[in-house]
Each structure stands twice: as C-alpha cells, then as structure tokens.
Amino acid sequence: MKKYFGTDGIRGRVGEPPISADWILKLGWAVGKVLAAKGRGRGKVLIGKDTRISGYMFESALEAGLSSAGVDTLLLGPMPTPGIAYLTRALRVSVGIVISASHNPYYDNGLKFFSAEGTKLPDDIELAIEAALAEPMLTVDSRALGKAVRVRDAEGRYVEFCKSTFPASLDLRGLKLVIDCAHGATYRIAPSVFRELGAEVIEMGVNPDGFNINESCGSTHPAHLAKRVIAERADAGIALDGDGDRVIMVDHTGSIVDGDEILFIIGKWYSETNRLTGGVVGTTMSNYGLEVAFQRANIAFTRTAVGDRHILERLQQNGWNLGGESSGHIICLDANSTGDGIVSALRILAVMCSRSKSLQELKQGMTKFPQTLINVPIAARVNIINNPQIKSAVSAAEERLKGLGRVLLRPSGTEPVVRVMVEGEDPLMVENLAAELAAIVKGAIA
C-alpha cells in the first residue's frame, strides 16, 4: 500500500505534510536516489508548475533535493500538465514533475509525475520513492551535485505541438472563441494556440496573481464563460482548469458541453474517420446517456474507476486510443500521453469545421440522463462500502429507480469528500434520492 501517492500523484493543503517545503525537499532527494538506483546515471528531471503562489517555494525545494542527490533539473516555469508530459518525452528526460493541485483552490498544491514515456510512474517506482523517503537524507559529494537550467523556449515548443494536432487542411478563421484559462498554467499558451490557427480569441482568466487560480472560473465554474459567450455572440467557449488537463465547452447558445458530450463528439468523429482503435473508455461517473449513444453508434464502450490513471491503463490494455471523464479530462492517445484540455478542444473545433456544424448540433446525438452529484466532506479516508446503514440505503434507492438509473458512492481520490451520485430518468426522484443518500452518508461517517 502506498502512503503518499494517490491516483493522481500527491496532493494536500500547503504547509501541512506532505505538502510542506521540508518534505518536498526530501521528496526531490528521494526521486534522485531512486533514479540513481535504477541505473539512470546523473539523469535529468523536468519541473513545471501552475500559477499558485506556493509553486515558487516547492520548485526551489524540489530543485535543491534533486541537486543533493546528484540529479540535473530543467525548469519550465508555468506550464500545463500535458505540456510537461509532452516535453518529458521530447527532451528525453528521466522524469517530469508537475507542481499543481489541478482544479483545487490556491491553498492546496501537489505533485504529479511522468515517466520518460510521458505516462504516470509505474507502481514500483512510486513504492521505491516512498521507501527512500524513510531513509536518512545524504548529500552527494560536491563534485557530483546536480545543476539547474531554465528552458527558455518551453512555451513555444508546446504551442507548436498543440497546433500540430489540428488537421493541416483546416483552420479556425471565421470562428469567434471565448477562452477561460482559470488564471492557471495555460494563461499565455491557450490564447496563442487558437489565435495562431486563425480564430478570433476573447480571453478570460489570464491574469494570475498566485491566489485566483480556479476561483469562480475555468472548467469547474463555466457559468461566467457561458454568459460571456452569449454577450460576445461567440461560436463557442472553452474553459480549461488550473493545470490545463481538463476542458469544458460552451456552445453558441450558452449551454454547457461537459466531458461526456465532448467524449461522444470526438468518439463519433474518430469512428466515422477510421481513427478509432477499438472503442472508448469512460468511468463509473460517465452519464448513462453516453453509453446509450455509443451503443446506437455501434461504438464499443467500457467503464473503469475514476481517474485518468485508470483510463490510461484500460486504454493500454485494450489497445484503444480514446477515453475520458465527465469532468472534461479527455485522453486522445493518438495525440498525447495524458489528458490535454487544449488538444481536446482542438479536436472538437476540427469536427465543427470539417462538418460545418455548430457545437450545439454536434452534441444532439447524445441525451444525458438527469444526474445529481453531492460531495459529502470527510475528515479522513473511510470505508463506506461495508457500512450496513449505507448499504441498506443504497439498495433501497436502487429499488426505487427500478432499473432505470443507478447509484454510485465513492471516496474522492483528490479531495476529502465522498461523492454521492444518483442518475435516472426522473429528475425530481434523482435529486431527492441524492439528497437522502448524502444525509445518510454524512450521519454514518460523522
């Protein structure tokens, strides 16, 4: 069992272990020690971050820890998570590290890791790092200390990569787009990508101050974007999260297009253009309407546990190339090795341009089932599966749905909450059942 690594790296409140400067210093050393033990020589580690204030502190701590273990570092500064995955491969480094808490508020932070292939670290490497953390921290001889170099053209490299994923036969001329960068890592890159492909771009969330990342903006708060799309009479809106691996879109009427609908549009396009290898991977949280829509289109669909790590594992197991989550985390393995908000948005825009259809028209092939999701705060990780009171309540709810919906309860892998989700044909029943279950869960774990 891992003590620190979760489904998406390490995450927590800044100043509280393990998200403290001294702990991150030792983590850097532990990563360097494991690289040396794996025969990677001096090795090189790439470090990027989002725009939250604590990123400066943790960047310095990581750099110092890695240097003390004899590992060189390449510093990118603010860079989207998928950009770091791409550059980890392109620059041939041993490990890429992202300092980010993704869609969380500024007072949280975390670390995500990429292997040399741009995928999540294997379990054995994460376990080896955790084992090293329990050892005394010893600095290598001064002659063997690692050096740090800042990569000056990182942004330009990633901008060109994103543009290369858009069909060469198309451009975005004539489209007006509103881009909400959540005051996060994409605040300079995303507007450049869409402008250079020909779109008229209206910017939102591009003034990070270290504290406003994800604050009432971005993919977790798309309502402001929807209003702006209507006000500007734009063709579409694109909302990214703080580290740029998620995207939620808005059509020209101001209606929100979530990750399930984005996955459906891309999946159908892939199938029609012979780009789809096999089928599509969703998660336990994917709307049942997505499954039905893929069935009608004769596209194979399977579910896995929530988290991009699980989606990627299933894609690799099946030899497939497309998967995603309702939250807007879409993995197009034919383009990048992880979820990429900009690339996913470009995929949707490519369908709009090639089909000469609006985003609203493209999503019509899928009808979402009413779904209510309630997050119940918890103080610590709890086992809800075997709680008799909760099990009884879930069974009763499923019986009331009569096979025309589903119930899902699961602890979040990134936040201290239990997610209570109910889905069904009757929206009022769904809402009431979710509220009743959330109250029972709250009482049972109090």
- Look up the CATH number of the domain holding residue 387: 3.30.310.50
- The catalytic residue among 67, 102, 271, 327 is 102
State the residue range of the domain holding 33.
10-153
User: Would 1 be classed as within a structural domain?
Assistant: no
Bridge partners for 422 per DSSP: 372, 407
Same domain, 128 and 251: no
Instruction: Name the DSSP letter for residue 382.
Output: -
Same domain, 185 and 277: no
Instruction: Name the DSSP letter for residue 380.
Output: S
User: Would 4 be classed as within a structural domain?
Assistant: no
User: Would 2 be classed as within a structural domain?
Assistant: no
Check: CB of residue 47 under 8 Å from CB of residue 62. Answer: yes
Same domain, 15 and 125: yes
CB atoms within 10 A of CB 226: 20
Same domain, 243 and 265: no
Joined together, the tokens standing for residue 64 give: 């110092």
Same domain, 349 and 387: no
Joined together, the tokens standing for residue 433 give: 């059942």
Structure confidence at residue 382 (pLDDT): 67
User: Would 213 be classed as within a structural domain?
Assistant: yes
Mean pLDDT for back-to-back runs of 10 residues, the chain (446 residues) = 87 96 97 83 87 98 97 97 97 96 96 94 93 96 96 97 98 98 98 98 98 97 98 98 98 98 98 97 92 94 92 96 97 96 98 98 94 87 78 92 85 82 92 95 81
Structure confidence at residue 41 (pLDDT): 52
Structure confidence at residue 285 (pLDDT): 87
Structure confidence at residue 387 (pLDDT): 84
Same domain, 96 and 133: yes
User: Would 168 be classed as within a structural domain?
Assistant: no
Same domain, 114 and 129: yes
User: Would 167 be classed as within a structural domain?
Assistant: no
Q: Which amino acid is at 260?
A: D
Rounded to two decimals, the pTM is 0.90
Q: Is 102 a catalytic residue?
A: yes
Among candidate residues 352, 368, 384, the one where a domain is terminated: 368
Euclidean distance between CA atoms 28 and 38, whole angstroms: 16
Residues 6 or more apart in contact with residue 111 via CB below 8 angstroms:
9, 10, 11, 24, 27, 58, 62, 97, 98, 99, 100
User: Would 235 be classed as within a structural domain?
Assistant: yes
Structure confidence at residue 286 (pLDDT): 93
Class of residue 217 by CB neighbours under 10 A (exposed 0-12, middle 13-18, buried 19+): buried
Angle between helical axes of 341-355 and 154-164 (0-180°, round to 10): 30
Same domain, 123 and 104: yes
Same domain, 14 and 132: yes
Domain containing residue 147: CATH number: 3.40.120.10
Among candidate residues 255, 271, 295, the one where a domain is terminated: 255
User: Would 160 be classed as within a structural domain?
Assistant: no
Same domain, 32 and 146: yes
Same domain, 379 and 352: no
Task: Domain count for the chain, please give it.
Answer: 4
Among candidate residues 255, 289, 307, the one where a domain is terminated: 255
Helix (H) or strand (E) holding 108: strand 108-114
Find the radius of gyration of the CA atoms of the chain.
Answer: 22
